[in-house]
């Protein structure tokens, strides 16, 4: 996995796992960008270049005070950028190029100054996990969820993955009604991998989580996705749901 792909996955993991925010596609001049918003307030905006990302973070007065108290903890290039930029009426604009994990870690600290995490993890009470780590009890295909809950999930799934047929039903791994059981039903990728490695669960594998076990939407692209869409169409299908 190349460094930029690692950066992309870590951005998605951090922003969606820590924050419940709308993702709004926009433009920064002629560059596609993705704005993470709470209501009309933009927390951070990411310019999407082919070979790197540029984070736009605006620090207001209180946020600048917090940053300046721990400024010495940041890489020198970010300290110098902060000192170099003028303070405008809405705050100090920082545009930070990110193409490696070291710089991303510093940017994550800035985002935490900008806003405290606001995503509440899914309740683990009565949770049902597939062997791949997905939450069966939050999945549209799971037999034991109510039809009312299933109906609320489908619009979110359509918004993220496009209109599709969500009629397949499954009772969970190693049950008689498992989607992969029975004649002419091909194993899903995680179960194929488990059979090859002769392992019982993805959690037992030294490579977990991996591309095989992570079926949830992992892209960072020029596409608007609401906070509710992330909650109900993405996180249930990500191993451990970013916890």
Per residue in 57-67, pLDDT tens? 999 999 999 99
Please report where in the chains the tokens 């993470």 appear, as a residue: 36
Task: Look at residue 86 and tell me if it is in a domain.
Answer: yes
Question: For residue 183, what pLDDT is reported?
Answer: 58
Per residue in 36-47, pLDDT (tens digit) is 999 999 999 999
β-strand partners of 34 = 25, 46
Peptide bond connecting 209 to the previous residue in cis, omega within 30 degrees of 0: yes
Same domain, yes or no, for 110 and 30? Answer: yes
Question: For residue 217, what pLDDT is reported?
Answer: 84
Same domain, yes or no, for 204 and 148? Answer: yes
Rg (C-alpha) for the chain, rounded Å, is 21
Q: What whole-number distance in Å separates Cα of residue 45 and Cα of residue 49?
A: 13
Please report where in the chains the tokens 């008689």 appear, as a residue: 176
158-162, 190-194, 229-233: least confident range: 190-194
172 or 19: whose pLDDT is higher?
Answer: 19
Q: What whole-number distance in Å separates Cα of residue 3 and Cα of residue 88?
A: 34
Find out whether 11 and 218 touch, Cβ atoms under 8 Å.
no
Helix axes 101-114, 3-18, angle to 10 degrees: 20
Q: What is the domain count for the chain?
A: 2
Band (pLDDT 50/70/90 cuts) for residue 133 is confident
Spell out the residues 6+ positions from residue 110 whose beta carbon is closer than 8 angstroms to its own: 55, 57, 59, 67, 74, 78, 94, 96
Band (pLDDT 50/70/90 cuts) for residue 213 is confident
Task: Look at residue 90 and tell me if it is in a domain.
Answer: yes
Average pLDDT over the chain, rounded to whole?
92
Give this prediction's pTM: 0.90
Same domain, yes or no, for 157 and 92? Answer: no
Give the CA dihedral 7, 13, 18, 21, nearest 10 degrees: 90
Task: Look at residue 10 and tell me if it is in a domain.
Answer: yes
Find out whether 242 and 17 touch, Cβ atoms under 8 Å.
yes
Question: For residue 208, what pLDDT is reported?
Answer: 80
Q: What whole-number distance in Å separates Cα of residue 59 and Cα of residue 67?
A: 9
Task: Look at residue 8 and tell me if it is in a domain.
Answer: yes
Paired tokens of 171: 């009772």
Same domain, yes or no, for 72 and 147? Answer: no
184 has a pLDDT exceeding 70: no
- Could you tell me the CATH number of the domain that includes residue 90? 3.30.1460
Same domain, yes or no, for 229 and 164? Answer: yes
Find out whether 44 and 104 touch, Cβ atoms under 8 Å.
no
Question: For residue 182, what pLDDT is reported?
Answer: 59
Distances (CA, A) of 22 to 70, 148, 226: 29, 24, 4
Question: For residue 45, what pLDDT is reported?
Answer: 98
Per residue in 111-129, pLDDT (tens digit) is 999 999 999 999 989 899 9
Band (pLDDT 50/70/90 cuts) for residue 200 is confident
């Amino acid at each position: 996995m190349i460094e930029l792909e690692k950066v992309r996955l870590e951005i998605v993991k951090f922003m969606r796992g820590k924050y419940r925010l709308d993702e709004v596609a926009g433009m920064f001049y002629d560059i596609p960008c993705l704005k993470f918003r709470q209501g009309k307030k933009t927390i951070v905006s990411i310019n999407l270049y082919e070979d790197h990302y540029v984070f736009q973070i605006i620090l207001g007065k209180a946020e600048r005070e917090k940053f300046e108290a721990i400024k010495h903890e940041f890489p020198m290039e970010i300290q110098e950028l902060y000192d170099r930029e003028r303070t405008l009426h809405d705050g100090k604009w920082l545009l930070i190029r990110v193409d490696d994990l070291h710089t991303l870690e510093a940017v994550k600290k800035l985002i935490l100054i900008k806003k405290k995490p606001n995503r509440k993890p899914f309740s683990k009470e009565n949770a049902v996990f597939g062997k791949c780590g997905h939450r069966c009890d939050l999945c549209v295909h799971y037999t034991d969820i109510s039809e009312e809950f299933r109906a609320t999930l489908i619009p979110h799934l359509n918004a993220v993955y496009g209109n599709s047929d969500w009629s397949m039903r499954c009772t969970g791994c190693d049950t008689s009604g498992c989607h992969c059981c029975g004649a002419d039903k091909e194993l899903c990728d995680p179960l194929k991998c488990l059979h090859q490695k002769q392992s019982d669960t993805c959690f037992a594998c030294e490579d977990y989580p991996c591309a095989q076990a992570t079926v949830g939407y992992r892209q960072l692209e020029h596409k608007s996705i609401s906070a509710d869409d992330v909650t109900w169409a993405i996180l249930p299908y990500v191993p451990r749901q970013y916890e």
